[in-house]
Structure 1
């Protein structure tokens, strides 16, 4: 998830496959783009934005906070055709399987605000009564590990967190990365803010796309971009609205504060996991 920062005013914004939250800053940095035209074509063919794609040690970071691995880009998936989106709720082709299921979450080498934020996000999911529940553990093997990275603003945004999509075997994506740079959450992170970002990244881990992936300008500002038709990657969830949904927990960019599930988010999660 990403967040956009202006000189004085904090504006609306957000950011395997991996997803992240970003924040926009007037500081602009130009970086060489190591992503080849071939990879950009693969990303576009899979229904993801090719704006500001970043190469990472794990793959390619797209849409601010979604990690796509090279294997995922090369996968040939036969699934429902992508509907050209308005602002409905969308899921990925792969979901978490073997339900009911307890997903174990571990926070690794992060401060108390991130631990409390993880507990906040877990409690919000567990209150929904889904067939997937979450449990924070302090030892043993976790299904999702929350760990830190330190990265300052770049290109007018800062990444707040990133994660990915479920595996082809039906497991949740296994890593959420949270930015420990002071420009992301400040020197004294707000627990509800951190928890909202973790809640968003867990959404990606269990198969949720950005609500406004077809037009990230809705929550992130800038130019409207629709990636067009694809055959993989974004399947509309029945019963969710076809009009903009300003309070969705899966908007691409953070509003800089506390954001949790709205009524349409609950409909989407219940459709997939109840």
Structure 2
């Protein structure tokens, strides 16, 4: 998730390293799996030891292996071929101590959780630490004015969202937007304009392709993206209100 017209690769900031006893070997396998699945090499990047596709979506070793097992999805838009399983009913988002020192990031998190809970989905969100959690997501900081996260794997939401500390100097609505967007990825939502990032980001047209996780049209949602048409657009406008659009609500109600 980036501000419109930002320099995308630079905006990724300092992201955390991948897990495993030998991240270098793991990353080689992830990249190999992605390329075997047909992901263009120029849509894969390694930042601080972690493999990313679509600029802000981390791909784990498990997720890359699942991709080869299930084959490719369709090449339309909105969701990955992985979803959060029915055993997950309450997702607790646990901010780090550092995250909590940034007032607007913290406010944005609360508002983002409210966005999801207002929809009455089968999955609810809570700010942790708390009890009754069937899945947990850590909210931590990164450099810049964007964010990053990842897609579901093994029926679980992706376990981390990274939110840029530079957002603390922007409006609460922008913070709400970015946190809501990154949580959307953890549930399996793709960028609405994945097939042409220039729709929300400006610049030259860029197609993310299936990004190794599928790009499947959600019934009832538009087949084409528009500026401001979804909180899941690749880049956010400076005047965002941080709220879901009608298409976003349709997509989430269909999924969950």
Report TM bin, short chain: 0.7 to 0.9
Verify the 8 A CA contact 1:102 1:134 in the aligned structure 2.
Answer: yes
Q: 1:227 to 1:166 in 2, by over 3 A?
A: closer
Correspondence for 2:58: 67
Q: 1:269 to 1:46 in 2, by over 3 A?
A: farther
Quote the Cα distance in structure 2 between the aligned partners of 1:261 and 1:39.
33
Deviations 1:92-124 (A, max 9, x none): 111111256011111112222111111000111
Residue correspondence of structure 1 range 49-60 to structure 2 within 5 A:
50-51=41-42, 53-57=44-48, 59-60=50-51
Q: 1:97 to 1:196 in 2, by over 3 A?
A: same
How many residues in Structure 1 have an aligned counterpart in Structure 2?
Answer: 235
Q: Where does structure 2 lack aligned partners over 5 or more consecutive residues?
A: 13-23
Q: CA RMSD in A?
A: 3.3
Quote the Cα distance in structure 2 between the aligned partners of 1:230 and 1:145.
23
Correspondence for 1:185: 167
Quote the Cα distance in structure 2 between the aligned partners of 1:268 and 1:175.
22
Give the CA deviation at 1:229. 7.4
Verify the 8 A CA contact 2:231 2:245 in the aligned structure 1.
Answer: yes
Q: Where does structure 1 lack aligned partners over 5 or more consecutive residues?
A: 5-10, 24-33, 152-158
Higher relative contact order (CA 8 A, sep 6+): 1
- The one of 169, 194, 200 equivalent to 1:213 is 194
Deviations 1:110-160 (A, max 9, x none): 222111111000111111111111011236776111001225xxxxxxx61
Correspondence for 2:244: 261
Correspondence for 1:97: 85
Correspondence for 2:232: 250
Give the CA deviation at 1:235. 1.7
Quote the Cα distance in structure 1 between the aligned partners of 2:59 and 2:230.
23
Quote the Cα distance in structure 2 between the aligned partners of 1:202 and 1:68.
15
Correspondence for 1:162: 148
Correspondence for 2:16: none
Correspondence for 1:133: 124
Give the CA deviation at 1:231. 8.6
Correspondence for 2:70: 78
Give the CA deviation at 1:223. 2.3
- The one of 173, 178, 182 equivalent to 1:197 is 178
Give the CA deviation at 1:52. 6.2
Quote the Cα distance in structure 2 between the aligned partners of 1:236 and 1:61.
22
Quote the Cα distance in structure 2 between the aligned partners of 1:68 and 1:272.
21
Give the CA deviation at 1:166. 0.8
Q: 1:112 to 1:232 in 2, by over 3 A?
A: closer
Any idea what SS the aligned residue of 1:236 has? coil
Give the CA deviation at 1:82. 3.0
Deviations 1:227-255 (A, max 9, x none): 66799522211111123333201101111
Any idea what SS the aligned residue of 1:55 has? strand
Give the CA deviation at 1:256. 2.5
TM-score, normalised to structure 2's length?
A: 0.78
1:271 counterpart = 2:254: yes
Q: 1:228 to 1:195 in 2, by over 3 A?
A: closer
TM-score, normalised to structure 1's length?
A: 0.73
